[in-house]
Amino acid sequence: MAIAEHDNVFIFVPNLIGYARIVLALIAFWFMSTNYVIAGWCYIISALLDAVDGHAARAFNQSTRFGAMLDQLTDRCGTTGLLVTLAYFYPSYMFWFQLSIAIDVACHWLYMQTSVVVGRTSHKVNDNVVMRIYYQKDVLTFMCCVNELFYVCLYLLHFTYGPLILGASLFKILAFLTGPFAVLKAVISLIHAYIAGQDLAAVDVRERVEKRQKAEPVVGKKLE
């Protein structure tokens, strides 16, 4: 069924899905320390809807800067909330969870902000070969899923071992399998920050050169 076109960005279909993601994340946060079933399902559904809103944006021609920012903020805040809980559950690994939060938030914020400054139509558009590969649809979906799965498995393992496969915990097996990809995603986030830093510095250099060029004629007139 066709949806009538309108320009109220706040009620675009993908953004409505984004609001639902926020509500689910908040419910997950509320129950995260007490009820792993409710918290786990709400968090997982919120994360999975991240792929749905992208499909909706393309299907209904409703891709917006607001939606992209809402999506990014929901991702960052959702993962941060889970990592804060993990730091509480596993205090001996608190530094690593803190480091994961810092890398995730800082690198993505810098990359998004720089994309706006340099005038890119999307933060997913970049000439760097690593970014081109990373932002391919299947690659990005896979990396985000296994990264979230790693942290969710660590969360669930605090409460239960889950199903057993040949006497081994399924959640523990998945954590070992997805852990390397979580580390790889952190490394890619650092690459985001490096690329953004280079682009932002280039903007600074260009603006300084333009400023000097504008000032030179004025100085020349004064000397005459």
Which of the residues are catalytic? 75
Q: Can you count the helices (H) and strands (E) in the chain?
A: 7, 2
Alpha carbon distance 94, 96 (integer Å): 5
DSSP label at residue 141: H
Burial of 183-203, coded b for 16+ CB within 10 Å and e otherwise, reads eebbebbeebbebbeebbeee
Tokens of 15: 């953004």
Q: Mention every residue, 6+ apart, whose C-beta is less than 8 A from residue 93.
A: 86, 87
